[in-house]
Structures are given as C-alpha cells and as structure tokens.
Amino acid sequence: MKVAFINMTGGIDRGAGYIIGAITEAGHKVDFYNSKHFKHNKAIDKIVTIDYDVIMASSMTLLFPKTVNILKNIKSKKDIPILLGGIHVISVGSDLLKSHPYIDYLCMGEGESMVVEFLEKFGSDKLLSIDNLVYRSGNEIISNPVRPAEDLSVLPSFPWNLLKRKSVVTKRGMLYVYATRGCPYNCTYCGNIVYLKLYKKSYIRSRPINSVIEELKYLRDKYKPEIFYFGDEMIFANEKYARELFTAIYKEVKVPYGGMGRVESINPSLSEYLEETGCKYLGMGIECGNEEFRKKVLNRHMTNEQIKNAFRLCKKHNIFTTAFNMIGYPVDYDDELTQETIKFNQEIKPDFSQVTTFYPFVGTKLYDYCVENNLIDKTLNVRRYHGESILKGYKVKKKLLEISKLLNPQGFIFGNKISL
C-alpha cells in the first residue's frame, strides 16, 4: 500500500520515526511530509494528486490545531482514509472522532505494530478487530482494546535515510537520540502521564544496548555530530542500564553525550562516572523555586538542597547544565512563585536557565484543575512553550523574555567542537 505520513515537528520525533520504519519494513511505500521542508498548501496540493491508500499523521497537543487543519483541507479535496495517532489522541480519546468528522481512525496507544496490522487488513472486515483502533460504526464510536506496550528489542530500524543533517543536528552540534521509553514519575503537569496510565509499569523499557550503539556509530559516521543528546524522559530510571550504555558509548562510539535527568539521581559516584565516560550536558528540572509548591502542587518531591547538590556536582565534574523552569502557574500567587524561581536559579547558577510557560495538557491533574475552575481561554491558539499563556487573564510573554535575559545575560553558550 502507499502511505502519506505527515509530521509537523520539523524534524522527526521518535514515535513517528519508528512507525515509518515499521511501515517500510513491512513492504509498503511511505512518502514523508516533514513540515521543515514543505509549505502546507503545497503539501496538500501534492498529496491530493497522488493515489495514496491512507494518510497517517501523529500530533502533539500544541501542534494539533495545525495538523488537523491540514488533514481537513486534504479531506475537502479528496476522500482519502485518515489514521491519526500520537500523545494528543491518547490524551483526548475517542471523542476526537466526534469533533473531527474528517478523521476516520485513531490509534489509541503506541503504533509500530498497530500500523503494520492496519495496512495488512485494510479493506477487509478484519480491520475493525485490531487492537488500538478507534473507528465509527454508524453513529457509534467503537474503541478496541489496547495492545501491550511495544517490545523495544524488536523495534524497526529508524528511517534516518529520510532526514538531512540540518533536520537532525542542531546549530550547536547536538543530535537527539533515544535509548529508553517511559518515566516512573507522576508529575501533575506532564503529558507523559497518559502513557503511564495506559501501560502502567510496562511503559518503562530500554532498548538493547548493542542496538543503540550500532545506531550511534551509524549516526556518527553519517551526520558527524559533536554530541549525542538522549531525549529520553528518564534515562536514569535504571541506573545499571545507563552506566552500561554510557560505558559502551565511551569505548565504542567515542562521541560525547548528554541528556535529561532528575536531580534525585545525581550523586557523587554517578556524577564522577558521567564525567569519566564523556557526559558533557545535563538538563534537570527545577520547575519552581518554592519547595512546598513543587511538592504539593507539581508532585515533584525533591528538596531545594537536592537540587543545589545535583547542580554543584555537575559543575564539579565539568558537565554543562540547563535548569528547566516554568512560570504562569494557575494560582493567584504565581508572581511570588516566579520571584522565588528567579532567586533560586541565581543561587544555584546553572549554565543556562530555560524558562517556559505552563501549559495545561489534557490528561494531567493540573489540566483537570484548570477546567474545573474555568481558567482556560479556548479562543487562544497557543503553539509554543515559550510564548503567551493559554490561561484567562495571564500575560507572561514579556515577563518570560525579561527573566530569560536576566538569568542568561550571555545567552546559551554550548557546543562548537566538544571533545572527550
């Protein structure tokens, strides 16, 4: 079968990439429409002139309006079946078919094995029996059972051949890669909670280390990045696995690495080990400088002392740090929280302080709180974490820029010829 896959992230995210790989390995033809390389109107015009059997798309919440606008325009010109997946679909659920009649099917969960079965059974009565599928039957919407989380040891090859260097390597030489899936924590603001609810503990998985290493060697030779950045939600969830992986990278790949972590994971032994194996970058969440608010409202149970210690250890071991912070929380004392966050960042002195705007993701506790208290302005079309708030009466964009300049007077200084 012939598939058009639409991706709005500009590069290619993990989920979409492996799904494209699965379709290709199953013997189907995929045309990849990457928003970084096409203008929306031109893509629509091209798609409707080609005899595609199915259109597939995956969407995050902030990009959902743009994604469905393209799908709606395509459907108005040509009746091509549309299958939509991604975290926003899982968060909202089957109701999306009620509000978006031009979408024919939803994938409710991870999609690698689902899309292969979908294409295999497409056009037959067996299609409507596959797990993860949501579809219409007359005026009724049917949600089939969710299949188990994907086995990462048999993932299809990631379709790096579809991507030019400028799509995957940042200006500072970073190339984003992944070795694990899942995070065991239940932060009240994080959209990843919908996967944890769906799959429970089976959501926390790791790829075979030899598979990751072979991929990194290929990417090293193909794209020549200065550093690999692990975009995993929580690569330290299994410290034994992380140590084995980083040792293999140091010995076999010989390219520096970095990623994201929780401050609770950083101790003297691990930070020393990270330096020894070539870790040059860690991004860690502060989110708010008020410890009590962080614990009671955000469900982040690390102390300010743990945060200070983690950043101190990274500095000691020459690891560049980014602190993740948010402002614009749905409380009437947000200004006071913001001031505490600024002061705390000034105290711990990360190499860079990233400040973003709180966004209420569907499926999270803080989203439910915002809905219950009628705080969301549905007339606003917010598409960026670094912009205006979607909450009623909140104006934070100017404040966001001022804080970023205050905390980062020299900007983001990292990269350019990083070496082990």
Per-residue H/E/C for 20-85 = HHHHHHCCCEEEEEECCCCCHHHHHHHHHHCCCCEEEEECCCCCHHHHHHHHHHHHHHCCCCEEEE
pLDDT, position 10: 59
pLDDT, position 366: 97
Give span(s): CATH 3.40.50.280, the chain.
Answer: 2-143
The vertex-168 CA angle with 184 and 277, nearest 5°, equals 60
Token pair listed for 334: 């947000």
CB atoms within 10 A of CB 93: 16
Pick the CATH number of 2-143 from 3.20.20.70, 3.10.105.10, 3.40.50.300, 3.40.50.280: 3.40.50.280
pLDDT, position 34: 75
pLDDT, position 59: 85
Quick one: angle between helices 268-276 and 239-248, nearest 10?
20
pLDDT, position 416: 64
d(CA 304, CA 321): 16
Give span(s): CATH 3.20.20.70, the chain.
Answer: 169-407
d(CA 7, CA 12): 7
Burial class (CB in 10 A: 0-12, 13-18, 19+), 216: buried
Using the CB atoms, write b or e for 390-418: b if 16+ within 10 Å: bbeebebeebbeebbeebbeeeeebbeeb
d(CA 85, CA 22): 15
**385 φ, ψ to 5°?**
-75, -15
CATH code assigned to 169-407: 3.20.20.70
Predicted TM-score (pTM) of the model is: 0.92
d(CA 292, CA 326): 15
Q: DSSP code of 146?
A: P
Half-sphere exposure of 108 (CA within 13 A, CB side): 22
**Residue 229 forms beta bridges with which residues?**
176, 258
Torsion of CA 5, 10, 15, 21, to 10 degrees: 50
- pLDDT tens track, the chain, 420 positions: 999 998 876 566 778 889 999 999 999 999 988 766 666 678 888 999 999 999 999 888 888 888 999 999 999 999 999 999 999 999 999 999 999 999 999 999 999 999 999 999 999 999 999 999 999 999 999 999 999 999 999 999 998 987 888 878 988 899 999 999 999 999 999 999 999 999 998 999 999 999 999 999 999 999 999 999 999 999 999 999 999 999 999 999 999 999 999 999 999 999 999 999 999 999 999 999 999 999 999 999 999 999 999 999 999 999 999 999 999 999 999 999 999 999 999 999 999 999 999 999 999 999 999 999 999 998 887 766 778 999 999 999 999 999 999 999 998 888 766 767
Residue of 239, 273, 268 lying closest to 257 (CA atoms): 273
Taking phi over 0 as left and psi of -120 to 50 as alpha, with beta for the rest, 228 belongs to beta
